[in-house]
Amino acid sequence: MPLDKEEAEARLKARRPIPKPKPAYLPVTGSPLTVDKDLYTSIATAPRTTIEEFVIPIRSGRAWKAPAGSIIRISTPEGPQVGDLNIWNAHNPRERFWAARTKQLYSSHVSTHDKLWSCLPYMRPLVTIVDDSLSWYGVDEHGGRVHDLLGTRCDGYISSVLAGKGYDFHCHSNLTRAVLPFGLSESDVHDVINIFQVTGLDEQGRYFMNPCPAQKGDYIEFLAEQDVLMALSTCPGGDLSLWGFGADSEKEMIKCCRPLKVEVFKLADADFLQKSGWKPAEPAPYKGLHGMLVPEGEHEAAK
Q: Which has the minimum average pLDDT: 137-146, 149-158, 237-246, 283-292?
A: 237-246
Average of per-residue pLDDT values in the chain: 93
Question: What pLDDT band is residue 292 in, cutting at 50, 70 and 90?
Answer: confident
Question: What pLDDT band is residue 301 in, cutting at 50, 70 and 90?
Answer: low
Question: What does the pLDDT read at residue 201?
Answer: 97
Q: What gap in Å lies between CA 230 and CA 264, rounded to an integer?
A: 11
Question: What pLDDT band is residue 9 in, cutting at 50, 70 and 90?
Answer: confident
Question: What does the pLDDT read at residue 8?
Answer: 79
Q: Is residue 297 part of a domain?
A: no
Q: What gap in Å lies between CA 188 and CA 179, rounded to an integer?
A: 9
Q: Is residue 302 part of a domain?
A: no
Question: What does the pLDDT read at residue 18?
Answer: 82
Mean pLDDT of 20-36: 86
| DSSP of 75-117 | E-TTS---EEEEEEETTEEEEEB-HHHHHHHT-SB--TT-EEE
Q: Which residue has the higher pLDDT, 167 or 151?
A: 151
Q: In this model, does residue 75 exceed pLDDT 80?
A: yes
Query: Could you give the C-alpha distances from 223 to 119, 219, 249, in angstroms and in order?
Result: 18, 14, 36
Query: Could you give the C-alpha distances from 46 to 130, 132, 226, 260, 276, in angstroms and in order?
Result: 12, 16, 19, 24, 11
Q: Is residue 51 part of a domain?
A: yes
Q: In this model, does residue 142 exceed pLDDT 80?
A: yes
Query: Could you give the C-alpha distances from 267 to 130, 133, 177, 221, 280, in angstroms and in order?
Result: 14, 20, 31, 14, 15
Q: What gap in Å lies between CA 174 and CA 82, rounded to an integer?
A: 13
Question: What pLDDT band is residue 251 in, cutting at 50, 70 and 90?
Answer: confident
Q: In this model, does residue 125 exceed pLDDT 90?
A: yes
Question: What pLDDT band is residue 162 in, cutting at 50, 70 and 90?
Answer: confident
Question: What does the pLDDT read at residue 137?
Answer: 97
Q: Which residue has the higher pLDDT, 284 or 245?
A: 284
Angle at 49 between CA 44 and CA 55, to 5 degrees: 90
Q: Is residue 227 part of a domain?
A: yes
User: What H or E segment, with its residue span, contains residue 222?
Assistant: strand 219-224
Q: In this model, does residue 113 exceed pLDDT 90?
A: yes
Question: What pLDDT band is residue 161 in, cutting at 50, 70 and 90?
Answer: confident
The answer to whether the beta carbons of residues 253 and 244 sit under 8 Å apart is yes
Question: What does the pLDDT read at residue 50?
Answer: 98
For the segment 36-47, what is each residue's pLDDT rounded down to a tens digit? 999 999 999 999
Q: Is residue 256 part of a domain?
A: yes
Domain that holds residue 70: 30-268
Total domains in the fold of the chain: 1
For the segment 202-244, what is each residue's pLDDT rounded down to a tens digit? 999 999 999 999 999 999 999 999 999 999 999 999 999 998 7
Question: What does the pLDDT read at residue 300?
Answer: 67
Q: Which has the minimum average pLDDT: 9-13, 72-76, 150-154, 266-270?
A: 9-13
118: DSSP letter: B
Question: What does the pLDDT read at residue 1?
Answer: 66
Q: Which has the minimum average pLDDT: 23-37, 41-55, 107-121?
A: 23-37
Q: HSE of 14 in the Cβ direction (CA atoms, 13 Å)?
A: 6
The answer to whether the beta carbons of residues 222 and 265 sit under 8 Å apart is no
CA neighbor of 225 nearest in space, from 134, 121, 90: 90
Q: Is residue 300 part of a domain?
A: no
Q: Is residue 4 part of a domain?
A: no
Q: In this model, does residue 250 exceed pLDDT 80?
A: no
Q: Is residue 12 part of a domain?
A: no
Mean pLDDT of 105-128: 97
